[in-house]
Chains A and B, each alone.
Chain A
Amino acid sequence: ETGVTQSPTHLIKTRGQQVTLRCSSQSGHNTVSWYQQALGQGPQFIFQYYREEENGRGNFPPRFSGLQFPNYSSELNVNALELDDSALYLCASSFGGSGNTEAFFGQGTRLTVV
């Protein structure tokens, strides 16, 4: 167990809807990164939050957005869901922002878009 918790664990949404995924980081960690993992693929970096500010973004459209709260928990929001958004969404917590060498992942949220 890493101490990183994500909710919900599974979710089914309809194309065009909006979804919010949540992540509680490990105690003492101030950085949260979000990844999308399609079946049979490696995780793809969406964005990172460090001390409530976005600190880097991957190649994802603006309909993927996020927040980090003062307690360092985080949300990932996806608008106008598409079928290709079906994936496992992973949250990773770490300490220190850029250059931290070990990330602790949550169990993920399995999103299915129908």
Chain B
Amino acid sequence: GQSLEQPSEVTAVEGAIVQINCTYQTSGFYGLSWYQQHDGGAPTFLSYNGLDGLEETGRFSSFLSRSDSYGYLLLQELQMKDSASYFCAVLNTDKLIFGTGTRLQVFP
């Protein structure tokens, strides 16, 4: 089967750093993506890792270890607007396979 595991919920305060982990087991793998989705909104692309290592985009960074079938999203200098659901997604040839999502709540 195909599965992606991530924590269901994470809470943090403004200014803090949060790491959301993702482990995956899929039959095909091109890379690992991360998407953000606010309540009632569309998923929006955050980052993509096709190779092992760290990708940095502003306050957000993403890491991939293909040998461990593991990745994480690191959010720094948290802001209230970062409260949303975060999905890891495996890119498998023609499709994205999404995890069940991690709901991040940022408190003042």
Contact = CB atoms under 8 A, between A and B. Distances in A.
A102 B94 contact: no
Contacts of A44: 98
Interface in A19-43: 33, 35, 40-43
Interface in A76-99: 90, 92, 97-99
A98 B31 CA distance: 12
B42 A33 contact: no
A41 B101 CA distance: 7
Give the secondary structure class of A's interface.
loop
A41 B100 CA distance: 5
Interface residues of B, number: 24
Contacts of A101: 30-31, 33, 48, 50, 91
A72 interface: no
Contact of A90 (B4, B43, B48, B94): B43
B99 interface: yes
A57 B68 CA distance: 28
B19 interface: no
7 contacts: A2-B44, A33-B96, A35-B96, A35-B98, A45-B96, A90-B42, A107-B41
Interface of B: 4, 30-31, 33, 35, 41-45, 48, 50, 87, 89, 91, 93-101
Interface of A: 2, 4, 33, 35, 40-45, 48, 50, 55-56, 58, 90, 92, 97-99, 101-108
